[in-house]
Amino acid sequence: MKPLITRVRDPDGFIGTIMYVGPVASAKNASEIYAGVAWDDATRGKHDGSVLCRATNKIVRHFSYPSFSKAFRSMGGLEMRSSSSPEFGGNKGCSFMRPSKLDFGVPLDDALLRSKYVEEDDPHLEAPNNIITGATVRTSGGRSKPIELLGELKIRKKQQLEKLKEISLRNLGVSSILQHSFGHLRGIDLSGNLLHDWKEVAAMLDSFPCLEELCLSSNLLHDTFASPVSTSSSENDRAKLDGIIGTDFQPKKQCYDMLKRLVLNNCGLSSFRTLQILDHFFPNLDDLCAVSNDFSKLNMVSSSIGSQEETEEVTPIKGFDRLVTLDLSDCCISSWGHVERFRALPCLRSLSLNDNAIASIGRHDVNNNKDRYFESLKSIDLVGNQVSLWKDIANINALPVTSLRFRNNPVTSTLGASESRSSLIARLCNLNFLNSSPVSAKERIEAERRYIRIVARELLLVEESGDDVQERREYILTDNPRFDELKEMHRDSMLGVNSNLTQGGRLANDTMNIAIVSMAPSSCTKDPLRKRLPSSLTVGRLKSMCSRAFDIDYANIILHFREANVKDSLPTLLDDEEHSLSYFGVSDGCEILVNEGER
């Protein structure tokens, strides 16, 4: 059951939860009443809810830091710490405050709404006669010139509540909802207020029946355990269900079909079942954001809200029939199995899973038609997870995604930006956008050819080593399942690589003919250098050679390579000085392009 809480603000705007009301053992006046507050920003606190008794000189605990707030973040993005967190010297998230120093919030009523916007006929003008009163600037001649403000009345006409469709009431200390006369509003942003009760959310839905977008981020709402009951249910059924799971969310209507976007970022939620319940009331919801909550137990959520017990499930989650966009970034999701529970959502096109702890991406049998598998998904975000193997990246090919955001994962942590992008494009056959940048046909061709050269060289190194050849070869091919497919697709590129790698004895002594061309303004008229270089030469040593040959500062050199005999070949950046030319797939006959950048 959700705890009974009261949310408050101090004079500096810090928000917290009252956990205790009464006398404090360390106070000079033993009868004076204080409020024990657990702050959202733990750096605001001074103790852990216990004090040293003035009379007995012993520790007296009046309250403890609430477990339901441990995952809640403040609007500034600081994560809440538990009362035993060593980062704050043990327990520093709490304070005792006189009630008179606390702000218990304001109701959302007509007066608050109108205080945000100036009436059209208000006689006060910031710039009467288009001149801001008392505001001047000094000209180059030393004279004062008044500042003009044009169009104030035109702006004011567009700010009238009766005409506005969307309003923002962020950080105003709203704690309750009153009836008012602005039911025409389509969007309300109530982020960072003092709302903590789903009954107030229900009251707001009844007061704003035309809402299409509602943002409740950074209000400590917890989970709702209300039961959506159809209008045809008997009173006995209602009473039975209410007795089982509570009644904290009871809007007057059973369906709010106008609402299409709901934002519940950082609301202290810990059960996905809350979102399932809300989906029942919002059947046309197409955009749901629930960032920075704790959904680590997605596997314990029943597939539908009809089941009252939470048992471990692997079946798809039902409902959300019109949901297009789902954002569960920073929600403590650690398993791809949790993600797969959304596989049957019929309209889901965009799924954001940034800043979670997903370590692997499960393999799906594309020939298994018994179950839907993200049939509509086009975009997925996996920034800041724990994916460490390339074979997991290859499993994304089982999804119909054409757009991927993928950074800050262990699998690409040792690669440069260019190399990381090239590897992802080559491994994922359907990508049209990577990290919000389009993937052109030419870029894909170059990425796939580079990928073939790198994998082919790894296989030849294994063949030459003679140690556990079959096992190591299978490991490489498992990590690179598209290699055989791409080898056939780019057979002309493979012929050059194989020829280059099978001539001249051992790979360590392999050499290739390279043309080095300066593109820098100061040396672009010089003839190209033609060198026979070992494939093991590092990019750093090649830059030193180019610095001497073309008189360019080493720190400003930028190197690319281009295949000379391939039509429409795009330059590939050599962006890691520690790696060799062969690592990047530079082969016999390639051109090295030397550009001069700026420090």
Mean pLDDT of 439-452: 89
pLDDT of residue 157: 67
Each residue of 465-503: pLDDT tens digit? Answer: 777 888 888 888 888 999 989 988 887 655 555 555 454
Residue 384 CA to residue 409 CA, distance in Å, equals 6
Q: Give CA angle at 436 (431, 439), nearest 5°.
A: 40
| 6-101 and 166-413 share one fold | no
- What is the CATH number that goes with domain 6-101? 2.30.30
User: Which of the pair, 6 or 71, is modelled with greater confidence?
Assistant: 6
pLDDT of residue 493: 58
Joined tokens for residue 146: 């008044």
- Maximum separation of any 2 CA atoms in the chain, in Å: 94
Joined tokens for residue 506: 């051992």
pLDDT band, residue 184 (cuts 50/70/90): confident
Per-residue CA distances from 149 to 7, 131, 153, 154, 324 (Å): 41, 6, 10, 11, 43
Residue 341 CA to residue 359 CA, distance in Å, equals 17
HSE at residue 150, side-chain half, CA atoms within 13 A, is 0
pLDDT band, residue 96 (cuts 50/70/90): very high
User: Which of the pair, 307 or 15, is modelled with greater confidence?
Assistant: 15
- In whole angstroms, what separates CA 276 from the centre of its chain? 21
**Domain 166-413 CATH (choose: 3.80.10.10, 3.40.50.150, 3.40.50.300, 3.50.50.60):** 3.80.10.10
Each residue of 373-417: pLDDT tens digit? Answer: 999 999 999 999 999 999 999 999 999 999 999 999 999 998 888
- Phi and psi at 156, nearest 5°, equal -60, -40
Residue 123 CA to residue 334 CA, distance in Å, equals 58
pLDDT of residue 67: 65
Residue 35 CA to residue 37 CA, distance in Å, equals 6
pLDDT band, residue 128 (cuts 50/70/90): low
**Domain 446-596 CATH (choose: 3.50.50.60, 3.40.50.300, 3.10.20.90, 3.40.50.620):** 3.10.20.90
DSSP states of 407-467 as a string?
A: -S-GGGTTS-HHHHHHHHHHH-TT-SEETTEE--HHHHHHHHHHHHHHHHHHHHHHHHH-S
Mean pLDDT of 125-143: 74
Q: Which residues contact 555 (CB under 8 A, 6 or more apart)?
A: 599
User: Which of the pair, 425 or 111, is modelled with greater confidence?
Assistant: 425
Mean pLDDT of 151-159: 67
Q: Are the CB atoms for 462 and 441 separated by under 8 Å? A: no
Domain boundaries, the chain: 6-101, 166-413, 446-596
pLDDT of residue 33: 93
Per-residue CA distances from 182 to 165, 198, 211 (Å): 10, 21, 11
Q: Are the CB atoms for 405 and 383 separated by under 8 Å? A: yes
Mean pLDDT of 82-104: 68
Of 257, 260, 253, nearest in space to 285 by CA: 260
Q: What is the CA radius of gyration of the chain?
A: 32
Crossing angle between the packed helical segments 417-427 and 441-465, to the nearest 10 degrees: 90
- Low-confidence winner among 123-132, 204-213, 420-429 (lowest mean pLDDT): 123-132
pLDDT of residue 151: 66
Residue with the two structure tokens 């030849």: 460
Residue 304 CA to residue 323 CA, distance in Å, equals 16
pLDDT > 70 fraction of the chain, expressed in percent and rounded? 78
Average pLDDT across the chain, whole number = 81
Report whether pLDDT(326) > 60. yes
pLDDT of residue 125: 57
